[in-house]
């Protein structure tokens, strides 16, 4: 069923990992935001500190593509995650053979994806019957980074390395606040709610153990992390806020991006 988006992008630079910001003021492609006019379908509102700029949705997609940001979450690459870890007996034999050298644990990233994640519900579902209705961000929610490990290594070893290398932990949480007030409109004859489509970074990696030059792979991992942004002085995940709406009456309402239904 058709979906329509009016996107408000909160694009502050992430504090932890050095990345190129999506939002760069550009006089040719964008115009200053006019609160009286608002944001109309097909436009994107970019927010960076006190600067607010409206660009066409096609321009916004081009900006994302230029930075290699995917429009939806990619499938998990099982070839980089599935792994038959050595048994404890095999690890003990390896350690015995290499008893005369420095035993080290090393980690490396094998692939990195950045993408636009599924809808996160931020308001109740509303039905606009004969007339359009305005809705606001009213729901407080918490999202958490996730770490998946396959093999013979403690997750704390990996999170320690991730923190030292990228400033991420794989378990950090963010909670929204009702102080973040953004309104959207649900069109007449539609059902919709406010959602957030956060930016997420997925890193695959492997863990090696043993003497330098003779290390054996002992584990693989995948970590999904949100990017930290801010809006009106409130820190939260960096992403796009948008009304998700579909024509007709829907109970429940399914996501505009991603699977499953809103509550």
Average pLDDT over residues 71-89: 86
Closest listed residue to residue 27, CA positions, set 51, 43, 5, 49: 51
> Does the residue 254 lie in any domain?
no
C-alpha 40, offset from chain centre:
25
Q: How much helix, strand and coil, in percent to the nearest 5, is found in the chain?
A: 15, 45, 45
Range name among 93-102, 223-232, 253-262 with the lowest pLDDT average: 93-102
> Does the residue 12 lie in any domain?
yes
What is the sign of the dihedral through the CA atoms of 82, 75, 45 and 263? negative
pLDDT, one tens digit per residue, over 168-202 is 878 888 766 554 556 778 888 999 888 878 889 99
Q: Model's pTM, two decimal places?
A: 0.77
Distance CA 24, CA 55 (A): 11
Closest listed residue to residue 186, CA positions, set 246, 143, 226, 142: 246
> Does the residue 226 lie in any domain?
yes
> Does the residue 190 lie in any domain?
yes
Domain count, the chain: 1
Query: E strand or H helix at 97, and its extent?
Result: helix 88-97
Tell me the residue range of the domain where 125 lies: 4-247
Q: Is 123 helix (H, G, I), strand (E, B) or coil?
A: coil
């Amino acid at each position: 069923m058709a979906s329509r988006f009016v996107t408000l992008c909160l694009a502050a630079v992430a504090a932890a990992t050095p990345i190129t910001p999506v939002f760069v003021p550009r006089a040719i492609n964008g115009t200053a935001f006019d609160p009286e006019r608002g944001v109309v379908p097909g436009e994107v509102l970019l927010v960076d500190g006190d600067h607010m700029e409206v660009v066409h949705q096609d321009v916004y997609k081009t900006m994302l593509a230029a930075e290699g940001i995917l429009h939806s979450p990619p499938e998990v690459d099982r070839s980089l995650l599935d792994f038959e870890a050595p048994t404890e007996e095999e690890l003990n034999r390896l350690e015995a053979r290499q008893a005369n050298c420095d035993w080290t644990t090393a980690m490396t990233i094998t692939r990195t994806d950045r993408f636009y994640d599924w809808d996160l519900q931020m308001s109740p579902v509303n039905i606009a019957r004969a007339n359009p209705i305005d809705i606001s961000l009213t729901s407080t929610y918490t999202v958490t980074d996730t770490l998946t490990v396959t093999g013979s290594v403690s997750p704390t070893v990996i999170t320690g390395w991730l923190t030292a290398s990228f400033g991420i932990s794989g378990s950090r949480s963010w909670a929204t606040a009702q102080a973040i007030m953004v309104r959207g409109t649900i069109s007449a004859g539609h059902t919709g709610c406010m959602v957030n489509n956060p930016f997420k970074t997925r890193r695959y990696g492997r863990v090696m153990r043993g003497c330098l030059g003779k290390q054996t792979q002992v584990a693989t991992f995948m970590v999904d992390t949100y990017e930290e942004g801010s809006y009106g002085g409130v820190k939260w995940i960096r992403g796009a806020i948008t009304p998700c709406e579909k024509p007709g009456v829907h109970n429940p309402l399914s996501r505009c991006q991603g699977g499953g239904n809103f509550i």
